[in-house]
Structures are given as structure tokens and as C-alpha cells.
Structure 1
Amino acid sequence: ATLVSSDVTSDTIISNGYIFTYTRDKLFTGGTGHIIGRQVRVPWPDGVEAQSVTTPPPGVTDHKARLTIRKANGHVFDINALAFKLLANTAGAGGAIEIMPLLDGEDAFNDPLYFDATGYYGLTFSYDESPNPWGSTALLKGFDTYKVSLYVDFAFVGLTLQSSDVSGDFDGDGDVDLIDFEFLTSCLNGPGNEPSPSCTAEEFAIADLDSDLDVDLADFAQFVRRMTP
């Protein structure tokens, strides 16, 4: 994964063309009188951890752990299956992961979809498209953003994401052509090198076809094989 940005209460990474923004309790003091932050218990690539926050970000009135998933190119995608680990106890009060899909910035439903998360620290929950009174991913289809929240820390440890996108299609017109090639060349940086300023983080994520955190001749070769006649 590539770090895109690090804010006061969140971080954003890109992996395989997907952008993950998740809360981090960076302003935690632990009673020391100075900011020490909190340890990450499920680091990438083992998972994506979201932490409840001591100080909510601007415009937010609660302290929930939050995670947002979207594609770098802004296109729609599906969540076919998910697995998350509790990083705090919810057995007493009960709890549920809330997922609100969005399309073009608008909520898909009046209420979020709920996935039971009642249990103890370290317990892992898994859900897929199967009918299940505790939660199902059957309705998580065809949206461009998914906002996830829980009132305690959690980490996604498994996600099955599906998209109809054509790999290497920068402009989203359904083919890989010379227009897309211009995007690729602007990101071509060679093994282990930082991309040029003309290549955005989103474009870099698309151009890194082999997901090795650079855009080099290996990605160029894959791109050529995908070009539309």
C-alpha cells in the first residue's frame, strides 16, 4: 500500500486501485498531559485498522472509528465479502458495524446496513452475500463509496472487492488506448523511484499494474498487453 495523506485524525492509503481512509487516535494523551497517540495493532498488510478518536474531526460530533473505501478512479464497485476483527470488547453493550454505501455523494439508503459485532477483543466476524439476519453484503453492489463505522476500534482483515473496470483504463471509457498511454508515461518512474509531480496518487495507483509500489517497464509491458486493438 502507498500512503497518500496523513491528517490530524486519519490516514489515507492506496492499494490495488482502492483508496482507504481510516481514523487514527493521534491526539490521545493517556493522562500524560501530552499527545502520545495509540499503537496500531493490525498493521498493513495484515489488515486496515480504524480507531475511535479522542478528538473528533471537524464536523463530527462522536468518537467512532471510521473507515471509507473508494476507487482511485471514482468508479463503482461491489463488496462481496468482508471480515473484521474487534479491537475492544462490545459483549456488554452489544455492537454492530454500520456501512452506508454512497453514489455520487448521496447516501444509498435511509439507514446504514448493520453487521453484528457483539463480542470480545480479538474476535473475528465474517459476512458474505448469503442471507443472514446478522448481516449480509448482498446490497453492497454498484456504489462508488462505502462508509464504515463502529463505536470501538476494529480492523478489516479480509475484503473481497469486485469491479468491472479494465486494468490500465485511466479515463474510464472502457478501453486501453493511446490516451491512457499518456497517463502511464506521466507516471513512469522506474524501480523504487517516486512518481513525478505530474502523476497524481490516484493515477499512480492505476499505473502500478503489478502493485509493487513503482511504475516501471514491468507495468509498461502489462499495459501494452492490455491495449485495445
Structure 2
Amino acid sequence: MIQHQLNALFNHAQKIYNLKENPCKKVKKMGKSDANKLEFWTKTEYDRFIAGIEPGSEDYLIFEILFWTGIREGELLALSLSDFDMSGNLLHINKTYNRIRKRDVIDTPKTENSVRTIDIPNFLKEEVQEYSKKHYGFPEDHRLFPIVARTLQKRLKKYEALTGVKPIRVHDIRHSHVAYLIYQGVEPLIIKERLGHKDIQMTLNTYGHLYPSQQKKVAEMLDNKGRY
């Protein structure tokens, strides 16, 4: 979290104050380096978690969007109603939120690949529409969830304690989304595009171990095709 905030601060300084370079780019990421230690919820665990939140509430929609889209925390907190294409069931990700020196800062995403359009399920679109109806007149270009990252983390912990699911971080809900997609047989390239990763290698390095081994299928294919 601290490294992420420092990185955002220096990125902002590069754009606004012409800082020559971001020193955080030279520092190895802190935290877990072993992808096999990824923390995430199964669909069953998520269902248990979301059942403890009042449907239609701000918190309910927040965690529904996080789980069913896999977007980053900063991308969620920067969302506005104008980012949703209701007719096409699409969500446009084109900005990110940071709290810098007690100021809300909406900035461009971390990489060009982070700017993307995500297909969303119809039920999620309907949840967004129902929420917007309850807040009739809310400006479409204003932040949909005007809270800070610390508040989001506190709300996550609150519902984890309430429902008894294993504790994870907000970012781990992104991992949970990917784990669910992998379980459903979604190919790595599609996941890469959905997450906004720079390249497929990043996706495979992070989530490749979650894919079931294909060796048995290869052997069966060779057995069937290799003999006449």
C-alpha cells in the first residue's frame, strides 16, 4: 500500500511538476513475490460475503463491481456513471483515483494498457442502474463512490468479520475474479485484456499456476491423432 501511494505521488509529480524520473520504478516491488501464495476467494466464499451486505446499498455495488470486473481499487474509486455504456453492457476504464496530500487526485491509469473497455454481465448493469435511480440527479461525471482507499479497506474488514469469510485485501478481490474466470475455462489472453496487463507474460507469471495441467489432454490428443 505504501509503495503504491509513493509511486502514485511521483507519477503525479512527473506530470505536473516535470519531475525527471520516478525513483519508485527502480525499486523492486515489496511484498509477496511468490505467485503461488496468491490470496483469493472462491465463488462460494464471495457469495457468503456479499450475502452479508444489504442489496442495493453503496457497499453492495462496490464489491459487486470489484468481483465481477476485476478492476483495480483506484479504478473503482475513479468511476463515474458516464463510464458505463448501459446499451452495450460495457464499462470504460480510463482513469484512476489517488489520495495525495489530503487531496483527491484523478489521474490517467498506470499504463496505456490499463485504458480498456470491459464487458459486464447484464445483472451488474441492472444493479448500477438501480443504484443510480436511488440517487436521481447525481452528476454523471462525479465520482460514483466518493470515499478513500482506507474507508474501502475498513468496510471490507467489517463484512469479513460479519460473515466469517477468510480475510483478504481489496486487491485480492481482483485475484478472486481471475480465479473464477480460470475455473470457468477463460483463456489467458482474454483475462490479460480484461485486467489491462501490459503483456500476456505478466498474466501468466501471476496466474499461470492456477490453470489446471493440460499435459493429460495433450497425451490423449496425441494418442487419438498419432495412430492411424
TM-score over 0.5 (shorter chain): no
Q: How does the TM-score come out when normalised to structure 1? A: 0.23
Higher helix share: 2
Structure with more relative contact order (C-alpha pairs < 8 Å, separation 6 or more): 2
